[in-house]
Amino acid sequence: MSTNNTLSFEERISMKLAELFTSFGYKKFKMSKFEEYDLYIENKSFLKSENIIAFNDPTGKLLALKPDVTLSIAKNTADRETEPRRLFYSENVYRVSGNMHEFKEIPQIGLEFIGEVDDYSLCEVLTIAKKALAVISDRYVLDISHMGLLIGLLEATGLPYAEREEITALIGTKNAHEIRRICNENGVAPDLCEKIVTLAGLYGSMDKILPLAEKLVVNDTTANAVNELKTICHILRADGSHNLNIDFSVVSDISYYNGITFRGFVENVPGCILSGGRYDNLLKKLGKTSGAVGFAVYMDLLSYLNKESGNFDADVLLIYDSTTPAEVVLSTVADLRAEGLRVFASTGECKNIKYKKIIRIGEEG
């Protein structure tokens, strides 16, 4: 019997992703469910949710259920400048879920490259991200950006950090009107303001967007960002650039992320199912000299794709009667399971069980 046939859709995807990551030399990293509360409080802006479940351990130390995996890995991984660490994880995080305003345990799978980040390692992570999306669905898109272009433009404005953060958030929503308002209120030169607005709206293929990005260069930071993005895109093109676009509205916190950022989408799933980027600044905040790049896959969103099982509890409802010997029921169940089917055996129809079909055995069948 094939073990894969008896696994759930989510379990099969998880197993395939683990195989993908290990094929590139990534090792599984296992961590505790708990982390010191101060780690998250000191890096709240890095988290997707500011709500943290905290409690005191028997010694009185304040701990938290982890709302993020990358932060824990960055803290607990040794700083090795000459020896890169390739790690992947399959963990649950604890966050407030959407509009429900209640804590949920959310499964997440991802990988982290920690060490000297060069062109190859960046492209390796992006390539794995593309392949991870392809494992989930053949109808996917990976959008990439570079925080350096935004950071350089914001540097040129001379705006205080708070306004830079606000503009970063507005670029993520492509809100040109509010970007112009902040620039006008703070005396930013009109041509520089328009470059920022233009950046927020740039989306499309590499060949279309890269020449437009070059027109936004205003200083060394923006020039270096465009050059690195051109190099990465050139390398990725050799590996096949289909399903890959440039989208400068893909932004992350400017105090943590400093280079390539990206998000992955698959058809029929609302929102991004994969996100990542280069986060050297997080390592610096933790007192480490290594670079870092990685991504996470949000496994809870796979439910939108699980049409195959349709959220059924079983493939077959096997109904037997009082005349059916137990050994016959056991044998029938074994045969159906050998075909990769999930079987629920019962003496009658079950209102609380979702199933695809009924098979009856015995005199009444």
Whole-angstrom distance, CA of residue 323 vs CA of residue 345: 15
Whole-number pLDDT of residue 13: 92
pTM (two decimals) = 0.78
**pLDDT level of residue 2 (50, 70, 90 thresholds):** very low
- Of 96-105, 193-202, 278-287, the poorest mean pLDDT is in 96-105
Whole-number pLDDT of residue 135: 94
In this structure, CATH architecture of domain 140-266: 2-Layer Sandwich (3.30)
CATH 3.40.50, domain 314-361, yes or no: yes
- Neighbouring CB atoms inside 10 A of 344's CB total 17
Whole-angstrom distance, CA of residue 254 vs CA of residue 262: 14
Most confident range, picked from 27-36, 56-65, 78-87, 333-342: 333-342
Whole-number pLDDT of residue 1: 40
What percent of the chain clears pLDDT 90, i.e. is strictly above it?
47
Where would I find the beta strands (DSSP E) of 165-259? 203-204, 244-247
Q: Copy the structure tokens of residue 229.
A: 């993005």
The residues near 208 (Cβ < 8 Å, ≥ 6 apart) are none
Whole-angstrom distance, CA of residue 188 vs CA of residue 159: 8
The superfamily CATH assigns to domain 1-117+295-311 is Bira Bifunctional Protein; Domain 2 (3.30.930.10)
Within this chain, domains 1-117+295-311 and 140-266 share the same CATH topology? yes
What strand order describes the sheet that includes 314-320?
343-346, 314-320, 355-361
Whole-number pLDDT of residue 221: 96
Whole-number pLDDT of residue 238: 78
Whole-angstrom distance, CA of residue 300 vs CA of residue 285: 30
Q: To the nearest whole number, what is the mean pLDDT of the chain?
A: 85
What would the pLDDT profile of 213-237 be if each residue is shown by its tens digit? 999 999 999 999 999 999 999 888 8
What would the pLDDT profile of 238-291 be if each residue is shown by its tens digit? 776 678 999 999 988 877 888 999 999 998 888 899 999 999 988 888 888 899
Q: Which residue has the higher pLDDT, 39 or 205?
A: 205
What secondary structure does DSSP assign to 77-132, as a single string?
S---SSS-EEEEEEEEEEEE-GGG-SEEEEEEEEEEEEE---HHHHHHHHHHHHHH
**pLDDT level of residue 121 (50, 70, 90 thresholds):** very high
Domain spans in the chain, listed from the N-terminal domain onward: 1-117+295-311, 140-266, 314-361
Q: Which residue has the higher pLDDT, 232 or 47?
A: 232
Q: Which residue has the higher pLDDT, 49 or 341?
A: 341
